[in-house]
Amino acid sequence: MLAPNRMDRSVAWQIALYAIGFRLLSAFIAFLANVLFPLDQPEQFTVFGTTSPFWDTFARYDSGHFNDIAWRGYAPMAGARSNIAYFPVYPLLMRWIGRLFGRERAIFYITGVGISWACFVLAMVALYYLARLDLPRRRAQRAVLLMTVFPFAFFFGIAYSESTFILFTILAFYLFRTKHWVLGGLSGAVATATRMPGIMMWPALAWIAWRTAEPNRRDRLAAAAGLVLAPSGFAAYCAYIYSLTGHPFEWAATLQRWGYFPGGSPWTAPARLVQQLLMHPYQYLAGDRMAPYDTLYGLTGLFFIVAVPFVWRRFGAPYGLFMLLNLYLPLSSGVFEGIGRYCAVLFPSFIWLATIRSRLVTTGLVVVFSLFYTLALALFTTLHPLF
């Protein structure tokens, strides 16, 4: 594939403008949902002292923990749920940038939204350039479109860390693939300090370095330096947690107190869901309160599991490994909670979907993604249990 040229730069600007427009449209849809539909449960917190039908749509569930870290820092509590389960890059950005505008809690929320939007726009541009390494221009644009309208891509526009994570993850892969090893390692370090699953990219980056580094001492040393840098963000956070608690992996113990127990059989939850849907689908969906949400997340996870061998065959082991490990982690917990967010950052799948030649299939994907995007956004906004 030819190096990006002036036309690619023009397309990148268009993608940036469309990404901003899409975030504005999503914010308007969330506002309408918040005004028109009743909340499924009371608000846990608000951006301001009273309910704000617009701004509160950006602050649900984990947003409160990120804001709490930005506001007063980490608060480890022995044997209890704690905010140390949340990695530091995103909330610290909220703190550092937010303090430029004031010290009120609402400012940190609004700053977090701004960071998410900015990272999302940059991530979509970066995804285009990464896809261009393998695809023609129009298909690279299609990959960006599919990732943008993916049903759970609304997490990229709220006060969550997904946008920051996907930006630096894509940058790490792009820079490694273009042999900018040290910059790629630094991007990987930021990603691994943004979300715990970031460490799962290291085997993929190692594979890229092993297969593409030039057979000379200088390039191999640079590649090795990049690989050492990439997990350093994760290691630095573990060291910080050790200084606070005396246990470098106390954040993992905290995750277990939240009800996550990774390390089990990754097929348990999908097999259970398939059995329920095949044996008595109506009774399951109508009789179990969590069934519709588990089904949305579970079918999404199954779709991405099926995509792994296709991605591996089309683009090689690095992308396949990245998807496989990032699916194993949440599925091994035995629950579907959070699967939508985990799948939303699996960028290789969207690049693969962009290779589909059938216009009918591609159009169908965009339509289906868009419909479920609107549904999922409305459910999340009205505090249904999509986390």
Q: At what angle do helices 162-177 and 202-212 cross, to 10 degrees?
A: 10
Q: Are 348 and 131 in contact (CB under 8 A)?
A: no
pLDDT at 1: 46
The structure tokens listed for 247 are: 């246990």
Residue type for 234, please?
F
Residue 292 phi/psi, 5-degree rounding, is -60, -35
pLDDT at 100: 94
Q: Which residues contact 335 (CB under 8 A, 6 or more apart)?
A: 259, 260, 269
Task: State the Cα–Cα distance between residues 357 and 353, nearest whole angstrom.
Answer: 9
The structure tokens listed for 284 are: 């399951």
Helix (H, G, I), strand (E, B) or coil at 287: helix
Task: State the Cα–Cα distance between residues 114 and 71, nearest whole angstrom.
Answer: 17
pLDDT at 78: 61
Does some domain include residue 386? no
Q: Are 350 and 149 in contact (CB under 8 A)?
A: no
Q: How many domains does the chain have?
A: 1
Helix (H, G, I), strand (E, B) or coil at 340: helix
Q: Are 329 and 111 in contact (CB under 8 A)?
A: no
pLDDT at 49: 84
Task: State the Cα–Cα distance between residues 384 and 41, nearest whole angstrom.
Answer: 7
The structure tokens listed for 114 are: 């701004």
Sign of CA dihedral 247, 252, 258, 259: negative
C-alpha distance across the termini of the chain, in Å: 39
Give the predicted TM-score (pTM) of the model.
0.95
Does some domain include residue 195? yes
Q: Are 183 and 172 in contact (CB under 8 A)?
A: no
Residue 346 phi/psi, 5-degree rounding, is -85, 75
Task: State the Cα–Cα distance between residues 55 and 84, nearest whole angstrom.
Answer: 26
pLDDT by residue for the chain (387 residues), tens only, comes to 445 578 888 999 999 999 999 999 999 999 999 999 999 999 989 999 899 999 999 999 999 999 999 998 998 776 567 889 999 999 999 999 999 998 888 999 999 999 999 999 999 999 999 999 999 999 999 999 999 999 999 999 999 999 999 999 999 999 999 999 999 999 999 999 999 999 999 999 999 999 999 999 999 999 999 999 999 999 999 999 999 988 999 998 888 888 788 888 899 999 999 999 999 999 999 998 999 999 999 999 999 999 999 999 999 999 999 999 999 999 998 889 889 999 999 999 999 999 999 999 999 999 999 999 999 999 999 999 998
CA 251 to chain CA mean position, Å:
19
Domain of 374 in residue numbering reads as 6-381
Does some domain include residue 317? yes
Residue 331's closest CA among 344, 322, 343, 345? 343
Listing DSSP states for 154-221 in one string gives: GGGGSSSSHHHHHHHHHHHHHHHHTT-HHHHHHHHHHHHTT-GGGGGGHHHHHHHHHHHS-SSHHHHH
Task: State the Cα–Cα distance between residues 46 and 106, nearest whole angstrom.
Answer: 9
Does some domain include residue 1? no
DSSP 37: S
The structure tokens listed for 242 are: 């050790």
Residue type for 332, please?
S
pLDDT at 264: 86
Helix (H, G, I), strand (E, B) or coil at 41: coil
Q: Which residues contact 158 (CB under 8 A, 6 or more apart)?
A: 57, 58, 59, 60, 63, 113, 116, 380
Q: Are 369 and 149 in contact (CB under 8 A)?
A: yes
Task: State the Cα–Cα distance between residues 46 and 44, nearest whole angstrom.
Answer: 7
pLDDT at 135: 96
Task: State the Cα–Cα distance between residues 379 and 81, nearest whole angstrom.
Answer: 26
pLDDT at 5: 75
CA 168 to chain CA mean position, Å:
11
